[in-house]
Structure 1
Amino acid sequence: MKSLKYKKIEIPFKHQNADVSALELLSAKYPKEEIFFEVSKNTILTYLRQLDLQIFRQDIEKYISDKNGSAHLFTYLLDILEAIESIKSYGLKSGKRVYVEYNEERKVKNREQKEQKRQTYFYALQHPFSKQNQDLPADFENQIICGDSQEILQKLPNNCIDLIFTSPPYNFGLEYAQNQDDHLWQKYFEKLFAIFDECIRVLKFGGRIIVNIQPLFSDYIPTHHIISKYFMDKKLIWKGEILWEKNNYNCKYTAWGSWKSPSNPYLKYTWEFLEIFAKGTLKKEGRIENADISGDDFKKWVYAKWSIAPERKMKEYEHPAMFPEELAYRVLKLFSFQNDIVLDPFNGVGTTTAVAKMLNRRFVGIDISEKYCQMARKRIDSNLF
């Protein structure tokens, strides 16, 4: 018979006179193939394979409740329950949480050979990118530059930027300083892609481009898909997509589409997208001592749905579409090293560049509005992030 594997949990006694008779009752109710206990002088070892946690919790709560005045002698049961509830990695089978071997059925045999057969990111294999990275000219470093991004970026050498994080105008018709936001879609994408062409050129081999974008659902323009296809056609590797959940549940119902009818329902969204691409390779070179993300943050942020409230200071900065500092903070920590060069070609009032300075990254911010550039410089100079 195959030897069973268990997840072992060690719980110390809190009371010397603790009554462990409850463990005998639990052991009698639950089969050894699910859970069992071993008791030593100062420790209880729980061996766990699978469990209906709701029923287990009810059994413990009932047992403690029945003991009334002596319930304090059974607090170790709550410690066991708390330890089991804190386990976040498990599978589900027939209503039970499975704590060991739950992902074995999903493992792919001969994974590497099958990936080679399928051709991982086949669309980007024959890319034209040079592996030779260059330094950013000193007169561009840590600068906020006013002008047309396409023209400014043409002055930079190839392969000199580590990370591009930006949120271009969405073409929603918002009121930006010195800039229209209601172009014909074809003209909008022509200009946007001309700027992105320069972004790809100046990005280092192994660098990342991350674009925060929201489709205009009322025009039925899937901007995030169109942008993603553009980058893939340019031989960049699609690294992933993050949903920025804004929790904006106050968005109003409208008369668009149909009401209480399947003829043309209008869908509502509370999130935006971050589309992530890599140039040439998925691995970015950098010194491990320059990685400044904590283990806890890494585990939280690689879960690709970020719940972050929208920016609340837009009136203060007179900008209609800022993203919050926390969004830039996570992007820069997760996808760049300290001392990397961060570019935002639609820098606005400078959230990306301000956070870059705060996190010890070098930066280049470009925006067509002198008013916004002045605000971005003020944020840099005064450390108002």
Structure 2
Amino acid sequence: MRFAVTLLAPLALSLQVSAHGFIQWAKIDGKTYKGNGDGGDPSTTAIRPTKPYDVGPVVDVNDKQMSCGLSPVSNAALVADANAGSSVEVLWGGEGGTHWIHEVGPVMHYMAECTGVDDCTTFDASNAKWFKIDEQGLSGSKWPAMESLFNGQPVKFTIPENLKKGNYLLRSEVIALHRANVEGGAEFYPNCVQLKVGGSGTETPSKTVKFPGAYSATDPGILTPDIFNPGFTYSFPGGPLSSLVSSESSSSGSSSDDDSSSTSKAASSATAKASDATSTKKAASSTGKAATSTAAVAEPTTTKAASASTTNAAAASSSAAASTSTGRCKAKNTRRRAEKKRQADEALARRNKTARAHHNARMFGHKQSSAGPSRL
């Protein structure tokens, strides 16, 4: 038994290591920064390594390791260059280049300015004030971002174009929800990249959150008892996207708030009119389709009715013809029977007549014989 335990222990450890993961690499504007994963050398990467031999999840939302993952060895020694508006790709996976193994749950990205230090290599993530810049969740019945990772493909997003330059931590987080139908079943996988952001942006986020603190164990996006039921809808935890992201989508490039508001209202009105026009067009199209459908139904129905009528008429005609034919046959047979009876009666009469003649002849001959010879 002791020998069996000795063999199973390394296997269990191997399964634990390969069962979860970390950021394998991050690509910013085409430049790739490799991670050192499970307890790797922090001196050669801008991605903070995770605790040696432990790439499992954080399971308690109040754990201090919710910021950048399970007890990093230390901060990474390098920083990755980025700009406001940079395109970012992040690939999560397991040890040895294996793919991510989970398929259910969201992928989100937060940023936090590294304040009070020269760069993020010495910044304590427990002091970070995070703002959410990206969230990718459920679409229909699938989780596209998670499935991309499962298939060995990165998730993609953009750093806000109006973000002021400075030093930032990028927090990439995968939440696995395959066991989140019960409280405490969600698995959190955070990992951080140290950035130096340039560009001409000047804005800062209006609201931020802390990790731990941003999530509750019973938040709708963390405790999901109906996750595998039809019609399930997902709500992201951690609050809405940052105002930096929201302002990008509504910005019109106007020079004043009033102009921006007017432009936004005009755009909203135009959108509403376009929507009404589209709805009217769709209604007309639906009416046309309904009319066409009615005509299409009516035409086959009329044809079927006419066909049925013709068939019935043909059947009636055939029945009448059959009846007439039957009557003729019966009359003909009657005539034949009458003719045969007449012929039989005549034959019988002839036989009777012949028999009487023979009888009379025999009787006349007998009388002559009894009277004796004729006297002359």
Q: So what's the TM-score if we normalise by structure 1? A: 0.21
TM-score of the two chains, using structure 2 as the length reference: 0.22
Higher normalized helix content (fraction of residues)? 2
Q: Which one scores higher on RCO, CA 8 angstroms, separation ≥ 6?
A: 1
Question: In terms of Rg, which structure is larger?
Answer: 2
